[in-house]
Structures are given as C-alpha cells and as structure tokens.
Structure 1
Amino acid sequence: MIKIGRPYIEDAPSWYPYFFDLAEGDDLIEALEINKQQTINLIRSIPASAENHSYAEGKWTVKQVFIHLNDDERYYAYKAFCCTRRVNAILELPQGEDYNKDFNAQNRTLTDIADEFIIIRDATISLYKHMTDAMLDFKFDNTPVYTARSVGWMVVGHNVHHHNLLKERYGV
C-alpha cells in the first residue's frame, strides 16, 4: 500500500500549516486511522448529560462540534476528490451565521453522530488508499492553492484542533 507523506507547505492556504502541525505521524492513512479511534474514544467518553453543553452563550454544543467535524470532513474529502479527478470545482465553505445555523442537533444523539463519523471517515480512508502521487499533488492554476495531500492532512489536524477545544473549553 502507498504511504502518503506529509504535505508540502507551499501546497496549502496560509491557515493550513497550523492544522498540519497538530496532525502527528508521517503517513496519512495511519494518521486518519489513529485519529478515527481517538475521535470515537472521545465521543464515547462524553456522558449523555453533557451532549448539549456549550461553554458560553452562542457557542456550539458538544453535539454541534461533532456534527461540524462530520460536515467538514465530507467537504474536505470532496475537495480532495475533485483534485484527483481534475474537476475544477471552487469549493469554499460559507462563512458566518449561515453556515452554522441549523445542525438539527436537537434530534440527534452522540451515538448517532459517532456512527455517521465512522462511515464518513471510512469513506475518506478508502478514497485516499487509491490515490497516486500524481493525484495527491495535482494543483489547478489560478485557484486557491491546495492539493489532495494537503487536504487530507487538514482533516486530521482539524479534528485534533476540535478535540483540544473540547478538552480545554468544554471540559470533555
């Protein structure tokens, strides 16, 4: 199986390196697998009584944080897919209130969200397992700079970032 090494800083937007630094290891598939287990362990450690906890007024609940992780992983995986298939789809996440309005969290449980995370992460891993170096490092001209390789490492670092916030600000 192919080993997917660390990303190249020049193949990523300026805010990605922060997330790259949070991701450990030197093989993306292994990092995705380890992070998957860390995320499942974290979710399972949260009592049902804390699912709707928010550390401050107007901040996400614990459930909303994990829904956000699921949503963003779908987004990043599709972005990576577009790179590998050379489909120039300029995909930028909406910013501000519109993006964060309705997670439908009130009708979900952490168990349900965890089950969804496993399916999404397994799909991400499957996508990356079949990429060549040419697919991983392809860049479009005249678009924001990113590659499938950099996006994959972003997925891991983004999860670690939110794990840290959950521990520091939510007391999880």
Structure 2
Amino acid sequence: MPRPLANDYGPYFETYISKVKSNDVKTILEQEAAPIETFYLNLPEAKADYRYAEGKWTLKDLLQHLIDTERVMVYRLLRAARKDATPNASFDENSFAANAMADKRSFHSLKEEFLALRKSTNLLLQSLTEEQLSSAGISSNHRTTANALAFIIFGHLKHHQNIVEERYL
C-alpha cells in the first residue's frame, strides 16, 4: 500500500507523515523501525532528567510521551483496520504528561517499555493486509486510514528524534 494521500488524514498530521522516507509500511518496518528504536534505546542515562529549558520535558518525560502517544495511535489504527466507525476522541498530551509520573521511573524501565511497545506495534503492522491498512476511521474529527496512522506513528517518533538531536544531546 503506498504512502497515504492527503485525504487519508487530518492536515495536522502532515508534519509527521512528511518525516517518513519510506513509501509503504513494509519498507518502514524493514528500513526505519530498527534505527529509530536504536536511537531511543541509546539515549544516555546522564541526560535522563535533562531539560533544555525551564518548563520543557525531560528525556524521561519525552520517552513516556512517545509511549503514550504510540498507544493512542495504535488503538486508533486497530479500530480503523477492524472497521470500527465509532469516532476516536482527541487526547491531551499535556494532561497525559502531567499525570504520567515519568520522573518516578527509571530510564531503563521506560526504555524497556518503549521497546516492548515498538515490537508489539511492528507485529501488528506486519499482520495487516492492504485492505485493512486502507480501512478508515475517524480520529480527531478527520477520516484517517490505518495506513496513515502507521505513517503518523513513525513520523511522530522521527519528529521527536530531531528535537532530541537538536536540543538534548
């Protein structure tokens, strides 16, 4: 299944989809998944509680945000793939972050959870047919295909990777 078309997702998500180089989910899984995972798993322990500015997230907070957001997006993707037409509500990433208590966790435990989630997501994506990937649901008040959500998941990870490289390391 090729890259999502503009009418496969809400305009807000173009920021993430544009960061994915691959032209289909299979290629993302083959070429982009492992380097993304390696990047986050190799974040230095010494920077776990670092904030690049007052009020900004620490790397622990950021990793928890990635975990939470991927879970939300995978749920949306699964519902679209299973042809559930019930609209998905938006979520407040700042409320999630404020209530996640990432600062109470070890960086190692966050990395472990991140890796387990990434494996689960990758296995789900590998299991989907083209028909399932082309199925759409409603997310954040926009028609969104499962395929687009796969690109959004990886684009979101890349978006934050760029921020980490620029501001944290």
Scaled by the length of structure 2, the TM-score of the pair is 0.87
Describe the SS at the equivalent of 1:146.
strand
Q: Hey, what does 2:77 align to over in structure 1?
A: 80
**Cα 1:128–1:165, aligned 2, differ >3 Å: closer, same or farther?**
same
- Which of 5, 11, 36 is the aligned partner of 2:2? 5
* Ranges in structure 2 where 5+ consecutive residues have no aligned partner: none
Q: Hey, what does 1:168 align to over in structure 2?
A: 166
Q: What are the equivalent positions in structure 2 for 1:83-162 lying under 5 Å apart? A: 83-95=80-92, 97-140=94-137, 144-162=142-160
Q: Report the identity percentage.
A: 25
Asked whether the equivalents of residues 29 and 125 of structure 1 are also in contact (C-alpha less than 8 Å), the reply is no
Describe the SS at the equivalent of 1:92.
coil
Write out the 4+ residue segments of structure 1 that deviate beyond 6 Å after TM superposition. Answer: none
Asked whether the equivalents of residues 76 and 88 of structure 2 are also in contact (C-alpha less than 8 Å), the reply is yes
Amino acid of the residue matched to residue 60 of structure 1?
W
Scaled by the length of structure 1, the TM-score of the pair is 0.86
**Cα 1:33–1:53, aligned 2, differ >3 Å: closer, same or farther?**
farther
Aligned residues: 167
**Cα 1:34–1:102, aligned 2, differ >3 Å: closer, same or farther?**
farther
Provide the C-alpha distance between the structure 1 equivalents of 2:158 and 2:32, rounded to a whole number of angstroms. 8
If each structure's strand is expressed as a fraction of its own residues, which one has the higher value?
2
Q: Displacement, 1:140? A: 4.4
Q: Displacement, 1:44? A: 4.0
Asked whether the equivalents of residues 20 and 157 of structure 1 are also in contact (C-alpha less than 8 Å), the reply is yes
* Ranges in structure 1 where 5+ consecutive residues have no aligned partner: none
